């Protein structure tokens, strides 16, 4: 039995839960230097000015002839239950009818309260892990935004205050993302359907955007879905709408549009402990949970996962990536796909509702019988964070299938524009 910690080394930094060695990553995306060189051109003062998203340097991903963090290698080695392997080559959609808009999680190691406009390796690596693959089904948009940094999140634990003063209200975070989204609507959208995708801090920001600008408004008709992972969307018990959103319901079918997909992941047999922050009910409400592998019935269904072959931050204090098979094959792709290895199902108790991940262990299957995803601290895995690090990995293929079905359903009844490229 082998332990898989694919991506844990990288994403333990990404969510403020670094391993014992809390150093700055020494490696990362090969495109980081080019993106950083471009990011100092005509940018707003990071603590004062609103952002003008007509500047291409404020986008990590955006169609057009400029540096694009979504233009990376996404090929995957498919590892089957009988031990056979094949290479799945990634192909971006030629003329997609839908756009995907992504807000990344907490990844900035900048020294102040808010991140600056220079995309670090962490931002670029997260795009590769959590969003670029959506290019298979849509045009991809991912704005830079001045997020609340890991430095600021860790201040209470480390006793080290972030550099500089707190920025005034209205700078960064939700305001930046709203400015980026509205610029996209006015200059790029042209009435096309769109999908919102976010994780952790990014999902929380998108929740605010939906509340302010989409919920119950005409724009909701264009929204295929909002995929808000690693955060909480509250609904009354037994209901699909009525908590955080008054008109945007929880998705109950793959061809349903104008709805939200949301969950926080925990391992089967390891439900959220009392101190967990994920999946927790609030007064009179429960945290919604949708199962991407089976939106309609929430059966224990096989999930279509893509995992990193190796962590991005080898040597940074996290566990190394062991072999996926015995004997270990030579895997040259950055990702692996593991058909039938895991299944998912929503579960609940008196306090929490969450997505439960089940590993389909089989003695005759030469693949690993354990898939890791916990935050690793000096004392070992932190159960309160569950499998936050692989919230998106475990269902990436399901997300792509759902977007395809939602697009088909939408385009059957509404006009669907093609790419202007």
Asked which of 11-25, 270-284, 293-307, 358-372 is least confident by mean pLDDT, the reply is 11-25
Chain mean pLDDT for the chain? 85
Residue 278 to residue 266: CA distance in whole angstroms:
9
CB atoms within 10 A of CB 191: 10
Helix 201-213 vs helix 173-184: crossing angle, to nearest 10: 60
Question: At residue 313, does pLDDT exceed 70?
Answer: no
Residues 119-173 pLDDT 10s:
988 899 999 999 999 999 999 999 999 999 988 888 877 788 888 888 887 788 9
**Which pLDDT score, from 0 to 100, does residue 292 have?**
98
Give the residue with greater pLDDT, 330 vs 91: 91
pLDDT band at 311 (very low <50, low <70, confident <90, very high): low
- Among 100, 63, 193, 185, smallest CA distance to 399 is for 100
- The helix/strand/coil state of 355 is strand
> Which residue ranges make up each domain of the chain?
8-411
Residues 269-279 pLDDT 10s:
999 999 999 99
Residue 115 to residue 119: CA distance in whole angstroms:
9
**Which pLDDT score, from 0 to 100, does residue 318 have?**
36
Residues 13-45 pLDDT 10s:
344 333 322 222 222 333 434 333 434 445 666
Most confident of 76-85, 169-178, 369-378: 76-85
């Amino acid at each position: 039995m082998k332990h898989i910690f694919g991506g844990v080394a990288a994403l333990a930094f990404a969510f403020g839960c670094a391993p014992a060695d809390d150093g700055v990553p020494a490696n990362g995306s090969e495109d980081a230097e080019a993106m950083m060189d471009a990011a100092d051109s005509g940018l707003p003062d990071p603590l004062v000015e609103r952002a003008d998203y007509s500047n291409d340097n404020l986008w990590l991903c955006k169609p057009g002839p400029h540096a694009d963090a979504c233009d990376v290698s996404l090929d995957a080695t498919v590892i089957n239950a009988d031990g056979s392997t094949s290479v799945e080559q990634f192909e971006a959609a030629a003329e997609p009818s839908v756009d995907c808009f992504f807000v990344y999680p907490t990844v900035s190691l900048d020294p102040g309260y808010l991140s600056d406009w220079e995309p670090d390796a962490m931002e670029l690596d997260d795009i590769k892990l959590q969003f670029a693959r959506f290019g298979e089904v849509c045009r991809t948009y991912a704005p830079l935004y001045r997020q609340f940094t890991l430095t600021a999140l860790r201040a209470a634990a480390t006793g080290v205050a972030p550099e500089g003063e707190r920025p005034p209200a209205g700078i960064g975070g939700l305001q930046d993302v709203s400015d980026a989204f509205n610029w996209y609507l006015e200059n790029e959208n042209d009435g096309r359907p769109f999908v919102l995708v976010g994780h952790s801090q990014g999902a929380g920001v998108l929740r605010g955007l939906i509340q302010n600008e989409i919920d119950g408004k005409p724009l909701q008709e264009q929204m295929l879905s909002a995929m808000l992972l690693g955060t909480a969307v509250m609904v009354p018990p037994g209901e699909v709408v009525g908590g955080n959103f008054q008109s945007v319901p929880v998705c109950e079918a793959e061809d349903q549009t104008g709805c939200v997909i949301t969950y926080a992941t925990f391992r089967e047999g390891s439900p959220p402990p009392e101190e967990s922050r994920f999946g927790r009910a609030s007064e009179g409400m429960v945290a919604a949970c949708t199962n991407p592998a089976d939106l309609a019935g929430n059966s224990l269904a096989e999930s279509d996962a893509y995992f990193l072959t190796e962590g991005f931050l080898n040597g940074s204090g996290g566990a190394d990536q062991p072999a996926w098979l015995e004997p270990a094959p030579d895997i040259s792709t950055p990702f692996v796909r593991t058909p039938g290895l895991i299944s998912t199902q929503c579960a609940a108790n008196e306090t929490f509702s969450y997505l439960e991940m089940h590993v389909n262990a089989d003695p005759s299957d030469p693949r690993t019988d354990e898939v890791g995803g916990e935050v690793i601290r000096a004392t070992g895995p932190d159960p309160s964070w569950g499998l936050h690090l692989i919230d998106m990995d475990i269902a990436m293929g399901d997300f792509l299938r759902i977007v395809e079905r939602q697009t088909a359903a939408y385009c059957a009844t509404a006009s669907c524009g093609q790419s202007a490229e």
